[in-house]
Structure formats: C-alpha cells, structure tokens
C-alpha cells in the first residue's frame, strides 16, 4: 500500500551522499532511463520493474517532471509479475504430453521431451497471463535528506535500494534505533551509549 | 561489525524504548510533552507483541484487547519477555494517527494518518503535500520521543530511578507507578 492510501507501512532511510549541483537535470534523465516498462503482450518476460508517477501508476513517461514536488522527490517503484499457477501448468502439460504420445504412437516420453513440452506450454500460458501490479512509494525530502519508502519487506527494500543507487548514484542508510541515537548524541554521550547493555525489567522475586 | 549484526546487537534499544513508551503513556494518562514539542496523547492501541530472548525456541505472546492495562502483556514482561511490536494511537490537537512500531528498525506498519479531504483528481499535489506532511509529522514526533528516551537511557538515573519505576509498574499496575514516577518531560 502506498503513501496516498489510507494505511501504509514504511522504512526510513538517510541519504548518505551529497546531491550533484545539476541534480535536477541529471535526475530527469536518469528517472526516465529507469522508468517502468510495460511487459509486451506477446513477450515471455515474467517480471518488469521501474519508476512510475507516485500519483498515477500508469504514467511512466514523466513528461511534466512531476517527480519534483517542492522540496521532495516523489516516485513509485512499480513491479509487474506474470505467473502461471503450477496446477494449471501441470494440467496443460499432461494434456500436451498425451497428445504427443498419441501422435507418436508411444506409451512414454523421455525426460528431455517432457521438459521441452513444459517449456513450450509455460511460454504459451505466460503470454496469456495478466500481470500482477504492485507499487511502493518513495518520498525523499531533499532538505533533510531523509527518505520514506512504503514497504518493510526485505526483498522489496533491497530491490528499491538497487534501483535508487542506479538512478541517483547515491547511497542510503536504513535508520534503526542505534544509528538514530548516535546521530543526535554529542561525542561524550556516544561513549556512554556504547557502554550500555540490556536492562532487565523483571521485578525482584518474579520468576523468569 | 556488519550492519545486520549491529542491528541485532543493539536491538534492545528498540525493545526498551517501546516498553518505556508504554510505561510513560500508562503512568501519565497518555499525556506526554516531548522536549521542543507540543503536548500530545499517546496510547497503546490494543495490540502488543512480546517475545522471549534468544535465537532458538523463541516464545511469542500477542496481546489484543480494549483494556489498555494489557495485564497479560504485563505478566509476560514480568516473566522476562521483551516488547517486539506495539501499536499506538497518537493524538495531537485535532489529529489522530494509528501505527505499529517494531523493535528492530522502528519501522512504521499500518500507519493511518488523519483523513485528508482533498481529492486525488481535483488536487493531486495538494493531496500529496498534505499526506507527506502528516507522515513526516508522525515520524518527527516518534523521533522526539525516542531522543527523549535515549537521553534518559544513557543517564545514571536510568538504573536508579527509571528501571525501578518500570519494575514497580509491571508488578503493581499503572496507578501506583503514577504516584511514584516523576514526570520525565
């Protein structure tokens, strides 16, 4: 669920590097370069991902440079996947194998022949499958260098980090309690932070 | 040390923050004034998850309920289990947020902002800026609460005043804790 929906889950990052001086022009080109590309109806591609307009999942052209919103860069990572359900693949493979055996007047097929049939059937079914579309929003505050990404799923976050790095050439650091604390404490206080160990809240006399 | 190991090693900070925030809310009728911020109300929003320590045979307790005292959850605390997720309701002025925080990253899950009345078709930019503001606002408030916790956590008073008060609260309940714990804000 993206940020514009009523409920969202998100991960927070710091942008660790400085923006290039000509970042607006550079980013316009790079965002268009890594924009989402639709899976062609007749293709055998199972997955496609890239940037789309945060307010319109179907807009991957960015003609109006809509990703610059005041002090924000706002984009959605769109991921389309096409899958053939395994049971449907099995059913169609069995049917194709029976037809092949019948045509060749044989009782059995070799492992290699069955694999060929499976690949062929999968390709045919894949071309008929509708893609499943998911989007994950990014709101990057250029002033504070803090970025919110609307997923807490590890593999989606990794995919986002990779695309972000390719597009913007900058590194992100995920925010967590310890680096948050380090970020606000003075040097002397940081030393105290290093020394603390987990506290026990178990009341005296209570069984563990 | 790599990042994953560091996150695991320092995970206790997130767990203790969630426990402390629950304790603060319970002890002060939900009313808190973080340093440099307006007074706000923050309440446990009917769900807490606790886990036992360790890598193997981890026991998980998930407590749901309308009762903000969360007696079962407090019982789990008294057995040494740690808060790993907590849902909160945060109110400031006329605005209300609902969200769940985890211990590991302090990621926000299921975050509901105050309702935005702007229309996506008529004013998409207005809707975006309003949503961005509301999300940044809740992040800012949680960060302020966390910073307040960190300052207390590294102070000598943590062990002499705050931990005993939290232990007492776990054992006896919010009413007695309220009378003994001095307001930290």
Does residue B94 belong to any structural domain of this protein?
yes
Residue B173: the pLDDT is: 66
In a shared domain, residues A76 and A99: no
Is the model's pLDDT at B176 over the cut of 70?
no
**Sign of the C-alpha dihedral computed for residues A59, A62, A68 and A73 taken in this order:** positive
Of B127, B135, B167, the CB nearest to A201: B167
Helix (H) or strand (E) holding A139: strand A132-141
Residues 144-183 of chain B with CB under 8 A from chain A are: 146-147, 150, 153-154, 158-159, 163, 166-168, 170-171
Q: Is A166 helix (H, G, I), strand (E, B) or coil?
A: helix
Does residue A206 belong to any structural domain of this protein?
no
In a shared domain, residues A43 and A109: no
Percent of chain A with pLDDT over 70: 98
Is the model's pLDDT at B3 over the cut of 50?
yes
First to last CA, chain A: 40
ipTM greater than cut 0.85: yes
Between strands A7-15 and A146-149, the pairing is: antiparallel
For residue B122, the chain A residue with the least C-alpha distance is A55
pLDDT, one tens digit per residue, over B101-151 is 999 999 999 999 999 988 878 888 999 999 999 999 999 999 999 999 999
Does residue B123 belong to any structural domain of this protein?
yes
- Residue B146: list chain A partners with CB under 8 A: 177, 180-181
In a shared domain, residues A67 and A46: yes
Does residue A48 belong to any structural domain of this protein?
yes
Residue A208: the pLDDT is: 44
Q: Is A146 helix (H, G, I), strand (E, B) or coil?
A: strand
Stronger pLDDT, B143 or B65, i.e. the higher one: B143
CA gap B70, B88 in Å, rounded: 13
Of A178, A197, A202, the CB nearest to B80: A202
pLDDT, one tens digit per residue, over A79-105 is 999 999 999 999 999 999 999 999 988
In a shared domain, residues A58 and A20: yes
Q: Which range (A25-34, A59-68, B22-31, B68-77) has the least confidence? A: B68-77
pTM (predicted TM-score): 0.89
Closest CA to A6 of B130, B94, B113: B113
Determine the angle formed by the axes of helices A111-128 and A86-104, rounding to 10 degrees. 130
Q: Mean of the pLDDT values across residues B142-161?
A: 95
The band of A128, judged by pLDDT with boundaries at 50, 70 and 90, is confident
**Sign of the C-alpha dihedral computed for residues A149, A154, A159 and A164 taken in this order:** positive
Helix (H) or strand (E) holding A133: strand A132-141
Residue B177: the pLDDT is: 47
CA distances from A170 to A44, A49, A208, B60 (A): 33, 19, 47, 39
Cα distance from A26 to chain B (closest Cα, Å)?
A: 23
Is the model's pLDDT at A1 over the cut of 70?
no
Does residue A65 belong to any structural domain of this protein?
yes
Is the model's pLDDT at B87 over the cut of 90?
yes
Query: Cβ contact (<8 Å) for A4 and B120?
Result: yes
Q: What is the token pair recorded at A9?
A: 């889950």
Query: Cβ contact (<8 Å) for A204 and B167?
Result: yes
In a shared domain, residues A25 and A108: no
Q: Mean of the pLDDT values across residues B47-53?
A: 91
Asked if B50 is an interface residue toward chain A (Cβ–Cβ < 8 A), one would say no
In a shared domain, residues A77 and A143: yes
Helix (H) or strand (E) holding A3: none
pLDDT, one tens digit per residue, over A168-204 is 999 999 999 999 999 999 988 999 999 999 999 987 7
Q: How many domains does chain A divide into? A: 2
Query: Cβ contact (<8 Å) for B108 and A206?
Result: no
Asked if B3 is an interface residue toward chain A (Cβ–Cβ < 8 A), one would say yes
Does residue A156 belong to any structural domain of this protein?
yes
Query: Cβ contact (<8 Å) for A12 and B111?
Result: no
Query: Cβ contact (<8 Å) for B19 and A201?
Result: yes
Instruction: Tell me the residue range of the domain where A77 lies.
Output: 11-82+130-195
Residue B36: the pLDDT is: 79
- The tokens 């980090």 sit on which residue? A161
**Sign of the C-alpha dihedral computed for residues B142, A177, A179 and B155 taken in this order:** positive
3-state secondary structure chain B: CCHHHHHHHCHHHHHHHHHHHHHHHHHCCCEECCCCCCCEEEEEEEEEEEECCCCCCCCEEEEECCCCCCHHHHHHHHCCCEEEEEEEEEEECCEEEEEEEECCCCCEEEEECCCCCCCCCCCHHHHHHHHHHHHHHHHHHHHHHHHHHHHHHCCCHHHHHHHHHHHHHHHHCHHHHHHHCCCCC
For residue B105, the chain A residue with the least C-alpha distance is A176
Q: Are B135 and A3 in contact (CB under 8 A)?
A: yes
Q: Mean of the pLDDT values across residues A36-54?
A: 91
Helix (H) or strand (E) holding A155: helix A154-168
Q: How many domains does chain B divide into? A: 1
User: Mean pLDDT of all residues in chain A?
Assistant: 92
CA distances from A185 to A34, A180, A189, A195 (A): 38, 9, 6, 14
Does residue A56 belong to any structural domain of this protein?
yes
CA gap A54, B135 in Å, rounded: 15
Of A6, A69, A181, the CB nearest to B13: A181
Of B111, B120, B128, the CB nearest to A10: B111
Cα distance from A27 to chain B (closest Cα, Å)?
A: 20
**Sign of the C-alpha dihedral computed for residues A104, A110, A112 and A118 taken in this order:** positive
Does residue A208 belong to any structural domain of this protein?
no
CA gap A166, A181 in Å, rounded: 29
Does residue A204 belong to any structural domain of this protein?
no
Closest CA to A56 of A42, A72, A76: A76
Residue B175: the pLDDT is: 47
Q: Mean of the pLDDT values across residues B57-84?
A: 85
Stronger pLDDT, A40 or B15, i.e. the higher one: B15
For residue A195, the chain B residue with the least C-alpha distance is B154
Q: Which residues of A touch B (CB under 8 A)?
A: 3-4, 6-12, 54-55, 69-70, 72, 74, 139, 141, 146, 148, 152, 174-178, 180-181, 184-185, 189, 192-193, 196-204, 206-208
The band of A137, judged by pLDDT with boundaries at 50, 70 and 90, is very high
In a shared domain, residues A15 and A69: yes
Does residue B165 belong to any structural domain of this protein?
yes
Does residue A60 belong to any structural domain of this protein?
yes
Catalogue the long-range contacts made by A184-188 (C-beta closer than 8 Å, 24 or more residues apart).
A184/B147, A184/B150, A185/B150, A185/B154
Query: Cβ contact (<8 Å) for B131 and A201?
Result: no
Distance of CA B169 to the CA centre of its chain: 16
Q: Mean of the pLDDT values across residues B12-18?
A: 97
DSSP single-letter state for residue A42: T
Query: Cβ contact (<8 Å) for A74 and B128?
Result: yes
In a shared domain, residues A59 and A117: no
Query: Cβ contact (<8 Å) for B128 and A69?
Result: yes
């Amino acid at each position: 669920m993206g940020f514009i929906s009523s409920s969202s889950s998100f991960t927070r990052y710091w942008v660790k590097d400085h923006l290039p001086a000509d970042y607006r022009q550079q980013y316009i080109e790079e965002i268009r370069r890594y924009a989402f590309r639709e899976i062609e109806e007749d293709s055998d591609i199972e997955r496609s991902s890239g940037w789309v307009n945060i307010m319109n999942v179907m807009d991957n052209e960015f003609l109006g440079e809509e990703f610059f919103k005041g002090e924000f860069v706002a984009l959605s990572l769109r991921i389309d996947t096409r899958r053939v359900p395994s049971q449907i693949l099995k059913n169609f493979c069995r049917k194709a194998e029976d037809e092949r055996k019948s045509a060749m007047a044989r009782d059995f097929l070799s492992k290699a022949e069955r694999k060929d049939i499976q690949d062929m059937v999968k390709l045919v079914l894949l071309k008929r499958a509708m893609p499943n579309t998911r989007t994950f929003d990014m709101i990057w505050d250029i002033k504070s260098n803090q970025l919110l990404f609307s997923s807490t799923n590890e593999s989606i976050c990794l995919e986002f980090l990779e695309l972000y790095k390719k597009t913007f050439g900058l590194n992100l650091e995920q925010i967590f309690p310890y680096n948050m604390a380090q970020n606000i404490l003075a040097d002397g206080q940081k030393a105290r932070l290093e020394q603390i160990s987990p506290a026990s809240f178990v009341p005296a006399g209570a069984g563990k | 040390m790599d990042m994953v190991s560091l996150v695991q090693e320092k995970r206790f900070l997130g767990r203790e923050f969630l426990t402390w925030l629950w304790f603060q809310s319970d002890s002060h009728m939900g009313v808190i004034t973080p340093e440099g911020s307006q007074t706000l109300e923050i309440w446990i929003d009917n769900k807490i998850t606790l886990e036992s320590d360790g890598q193997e045979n981890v026991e998980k307790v998930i407590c749901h309920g309308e009762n903000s005292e969360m007696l079962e959850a407090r019982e789990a605390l008294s057995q040494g289990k740690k808060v790993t997720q907590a849902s909160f309701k945060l109110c400031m002025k006329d605005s209300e947020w609902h969200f769940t925080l985890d211990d590991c990253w302090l990621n926000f899950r299921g975050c509901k902002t105050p309702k935005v009345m702007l229309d996506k078709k008529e004013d998409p930019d207005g809707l975006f800026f309003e949503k961005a503001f509301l999300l940044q606002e809740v992040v800012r408030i949680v960060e302020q609460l966390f910073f307040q916790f960190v300052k207390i956590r590294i102070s000598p008073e943590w062990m002499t005043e705050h931990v005993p008060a939290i232990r007492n609260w776990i054992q006896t309940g919010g009413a007695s804790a309220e009378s003994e714990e001095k307001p930290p804000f």
